[in-house]
């Protein structure tokens, strides 16, 4: 059985009025803040290698002594059994990124190998800043230095000790 069109249209209008025309009685609205922090990628450039210079060991039997080079490039020999000389340099890096951001720096200790006898090693304990606050956005960036120290004794073998270390920076 077919209803006349007028009756069907009236029934549809009544149903629409009952369901679609009502607004929710228990609705609630909250707002939220939205933040986004866009940063420039970090660019790290090595400017200078670390060089502890020449260390001359005194004869005889003696215990541990430390040779250290500060981040500022100040060389220190902790014992009268050492003579420190020669050209020294703290490692130097340049970092570019977003202005006023704090950058974490990590530089692990490194095993240096005697080039004359690869079974002989020294451990360089790096002295790196924990963080660098960028004061320059992009070029020219900000420079920072890394120093380090080694412990030697009367049994330390003569030779040139060489090693490498990876410096990592991140926001």
Which stretches does DSSP call E strand in 28-141? 43-48, 54-57, 65-69, 75-77, 82-85, 91-96, 102-106, 110-114, 121-127, 131-133
Q: Please, what are the averages of pLDDT over each run of 10 residues along the chain (171 residues)?
A: 50 51 78 92 97 96 95 95 96 95 97 96 97 85 97 96 97 94
What pLDDT does residue 19 have? 53
> Strands 168-170 and 54-57, how do they pair?
unpaired
Domain boundaries, the chain: 43-170
- Its pTM stands at 0.77
Per-residue pLDDT, 3: 46
């Amino acid at each position: 059985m077919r209803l006349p069109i007028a009756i069907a249209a009236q029934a549809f209008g009544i149903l629409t009025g009952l369901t679609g025309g009502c607004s929710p009685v228990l609705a609630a609205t909250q707002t939220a803040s939205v933040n986004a922090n866009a940063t420039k990628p970090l660019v790290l450039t090595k400017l200078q290698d670390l060089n502890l210079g020449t260390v001359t060991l005194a004869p005889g039997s003696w215990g541990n002594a430390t040779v250290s080079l500060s981040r500022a490039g100040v060389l220190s020999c902790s014992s009268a059994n050492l003579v420190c000389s020669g050209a020294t340099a703290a490692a130097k890096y340049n970092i570019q990124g977003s202005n006023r951001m704090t950058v974490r720096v990590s530089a692990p200790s490194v095993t240096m190998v005697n080039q004359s006898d690869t079974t002989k090693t020294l451990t360089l304990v790096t002295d790196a800043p924990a963080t660098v606050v960028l004061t320059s956005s992009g070029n020219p960036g900000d420079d920072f230095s890394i120093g380090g120290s080694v412990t030697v004794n009367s049994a330390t073998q003569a030779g040139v000790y060489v090693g490498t270390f990876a410096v990592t920076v991140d926001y």
